[in-house]
Amino acid sequence: MAKRKPSGWLETVKTVVYAGLIAIAIRTIAFEPFNIPSASMVPTLLVGDYLFVSKFSYGYSRFSMPFSPRLWEGRIFASLPERGDVAVFRWPRDESTDYIKRIVGLPGDRVQMIGGVLYINGEAARREPAGFCETDGTGVRIRSRRYIETLPNGRRHAICEFSDQERFDNTPEFLVPAGHVFAIGDNRDNSSDSRDFGPGGVGFVPLENLIGRAEIIFFSHEGPFWQVWNWRFSRFFNRIR
C-alpha cells in the first residue's frame, strides 16, 4: 500500500519552522546583526552601518539569548575581552537597550582622562594627529580633530576630539571593579559611556551584560535605504578594529 504523501502546505510550514530554529540557533551561539543608530563611535562606526557581532567571543550570558530569559547567572565558557575590542552590551541602567563602545579597561585597571588623553594604569595612550573627522554618518558635516590612538597593549584605532577640555576630557581615576569592564566611545566628546556615572550614563559595565564583539560591517548607507546611490560600498565587509 502506497504511503500517503504529506500535503504541500504542511511541508512548507515544517520548512519555515526548521529555518526559524536554525536562524535562532545561529543568532544565539554564533553571530547576530546590529545597526548603528548614533555617532558615538565615529570614525570607526558611522550611523547607518550594519555589522555582525560574534556571540561566542566572550562566552554566553542570559543576554545572549532572545528575550534574555533568566536561565542562569553570570557567563558560561567565559573569556575576558581584550583592551581595544569594540563590544556590544546591554546598558546597565536599562537592560533592554543595546550599546556599542570600545573596551579600554579590564577588572582591576585604573582608567583616567587627563587633557583628552586616555591613561590606563598610569600609562598614557599615545595619540598621533591624523587629519580631521568630517561627518557623523548622517550627512551632517562636522569638523573635529582625528587621532590614531595606541593603547598600552599595542592596539591602534582612530578617535575624534573636538577639544581636550570637554566634559569628560578630565576625570578622576576610575578603578574598574571585579566582574566589570570600562567602555568608551571613539567619538570622545559625543559619547555617553563609562566616564559618565550620571542618570543617563553607563558607568562600569558588568561582564554579564556583554553580548559579543563587533567583527565586520556587512552593509552601510546614508539616508533612506532605497537610495542605492547613498549606499557606502567602500565600507561593505570592512573588519572592525
CATH class given for the domain over 9-239: mainly beta
CB 136 within 8 A of CB 222: no
Active-site pick, 38, 40, 144, 191: 40
The torsion angles phi and psi of 68, rounded to 5 degrees, stand at: 50, 55
Residue 64 is predicted with a pLDDT of 80
pLDDT of residue 77: 78
The grid coordinates of residue 152 equal: 598600552
pLDDT by residue, tens only, the chain of 241 residues: 545 555 677 666 656 654 555 555 555 556 789 999 899 999 999 999 999 999 989 998 888 877 666 776 778 878 999 999 999 999 999 988 999 999 999 999 999 999 999 999 999 999 999 999 987 666 677 789 999 999 999 999 999 999 999 999 999 999 999 999 999 999 999 999 999 999 889 999 999 999 999 999 999 998 888 899 999 999 999 999 9
The one catalytic residue in 101, 191, 194, 220 is 101
> pTM here?
0.87
**Annotation marks residue 101 as catalytic:** yes
Please name which of 118, 81, 79, 68 lies closest in space to residue 214, comparing C-alpha atoms: 81
